[in-house]
Chain A
Amino acid sequence: MGVGHAHALYIHEHTPIHRMAPEAKLVAAFAFVAAVALTPREAVWAFAIYAVTIAVLIRTARVPARFVAVRLTTIAPFIVFALFIPFIASGEQVELLGVSVSRDGLWGTWNVVAKATIGATVSIVLAATTEIPEILRGMSVLRVPAPLTAIALFMVRYMELVAQELGRMRTAMIARGYDPRWLWQAKPIAAAAGATFVRSYERGERVHAAMLARGYAGAMPELNHRRANRSEWLMSASLPVLGITVALVALVVT
């Protein structure tokens, strides 16, 4: 079931990956990333296989490569941190472009960069092919505690409203000549944030009353949703099965 227009992380397409039940995608993504994380860093060939697998995945899901690249900038801080490892790690030193660096540290950098990139790319593809309510539904099928999924559900539903409220307050401030340039001019922004918090709390109370009025008794009801079928589980399992096999071979040979 689609939600019409979707969030910024989603690419609207009709591919087998888009159609797949969310719980199957979640399990596949999680298990694949776990296998990648357990792969010894020296098994460079294994990471090459992972990279090719993900490239095939991105193509099948018709997610533009540019979109993936832009979203990958999220992990830039980790990469920057990883780049320092060779300079601060101890152990055997090697020459790299005339600078003495730690061999172990270079492997460390490679380990962080490769695994973080693969993990982030998998989650980007997951988010690009699965709308947020679907992901939450998949989580509840996988028995993630209902209060957690319900909180996330409400957050998704009301985040936009809260953002709009803040936007209106900002417009109202600008309309009355507020033009903050310095930190000490930030007080009205803090006041607006406080007001938004109180308003959101009050809205929470009204939403709760509306839920009670329709018979809510403390647990979100079971709604009709399609569950993953056998062939979907099998299809989604191909990703982690490949990942785990490669990881095991890599563990044995290195």
Chain B
Amino acid sequence: MTNPAIAAQGVWFTYPDGREVLQGLDLRVEEGERVALLGPNGAGKTTLALHLNGIHEAESGAIHVGELELNPSNLMEIRRRVGLVFQDPDDQLFMPNVAEDVAFGPANLGLSGAELDARVTEALAAVEAGSLADRAPHHLSGGERRRVAIATVLAMRPDVLVLDEPSSGLDPAGRRELVATLQGLNITQLVITHDLPFALELCKRAVIMDGGRVVADGSAAEILANDELLRNHRLEMPFGFNQAGS
């Protein structure tokens, strides 16, 4: 059996203020999968994302990315492999213009010159944002910002994309374009979201996290049709959606 794209085993994490946010979390994402990670606020979804590329260090348990077990000596390679797209693009886009921001990651990996330029062009093309290269991030629309934020991690040619609430704050057209962008990327994806129709449209598999562990894992269609399960974890389909009938 091949290595999973991501495997978290028994991960525990407590914030300095004493909140035990991850309590023995187990999660396995296979290569090429697109998985929705659902759960109420405070379930530990973002904290898990920050563990997957070593921003936070687990107290116990192990995280594997491909065949590599995350440890301080391979942090750089793990960060190349796992591309983290943050919830607020203004946190992700910190350079004066889009091209420089996209170049930031690959430059940290040691790329320079024509090779670096080629990476930037390739990543922006993948999210159809080539025309935005010279723009300042604060002059982009919400949807453009989100796509550029994705390009900043694609430029590192990651194996896995972890997206934190990618559809939040987008208008309906921006949301639809984002779905198309993500569907067009041939890469393993873990999509953290509260937007259940978005999860259903994008992912075959859904995982519900609550209280720092995985409480449900299965086909997105089945999980999102299980009203009782959703209700138990403060999730619900928006009014008017009845996906069981779709």
Q: Is the CB of A5 within 8 A of B50?
A: no
Partner of B116, one of A158, A161, A223: A223
Report if A154 contacts B (CB, 8 A): yes
Bound CA span A184–B56, Å: 45
Chain B residues with CB under 8 Å of chain A are 50, 53, 55, 76, 79-80, 83-84, 86, 88, 90-92, 94-97, 99-100, 103-105, 107-109, 112-113, 116-117, 134-139, 152-153, 156
- Chain A residues near B105 (CB, 8 Å)? 214-215
Report if A153 contacts B (CB, 8 A): yes
Given contact pairs A4-B134, A154-B94, A206-B91, A223 touches B76 in the complex (Cβ within 8 A): no
Q: Is the CB of B108 within 8 A of A215?
A: yes
Bound CA span A136–B104, Å: 16
Q: Is the CB of B107 within 8 A of A157?
A: no
Report if A224 contacts B (CB, 8 A): yes
Given contact pairs A5-B139, A133-B96, A209 touches B55 in the complex (Cβ within 8 A): yes
Bound CA span A20–B223, Å: 60
Q: List 25 contacting pairs A-B, 8 Å CB cutoff, sorted by A.
A: A1-B97, A2-B134, A4-B134, A4-B136, A5-B136, A5-B139, A132-B96, A153-B96, A157-B95, A157-B96, A209-B50, A209-B55, A209-B91, A210-B92, A211-B94, A211-B104, A213-B55, A215-B76, A215-B105, A215-B109, A216-B104, A217-B76, A222-B112, A223-B116, A224-B117
Chain A, Cβ-Cβ closest to B96: A133
Q: Is the CB of A214 within 8 A of B103?
A: no
Q: Is the CB of A4 within 8 A of B139?
A: yes
Report if A95 contacts B (CB, 8 A): no
Given contact pairs A156-B96, A224-B113, A213 touches B79 in the complex (Cβ within 8 A): yes
Partner of A223, one of B79, B84, B90, B100: B100
Min distance, Cβ B114 to any Cβ of chain A, angstroms: 8
Chain B, Cβ-Cβ closest to A133: B96
Min distance, Cβ B105 to any Cβ of chain A, angstroms: 4
Q: Is the CB of B94 within 8 A of A210?
A: yes
Bound CA span A222–B115, Å: 13
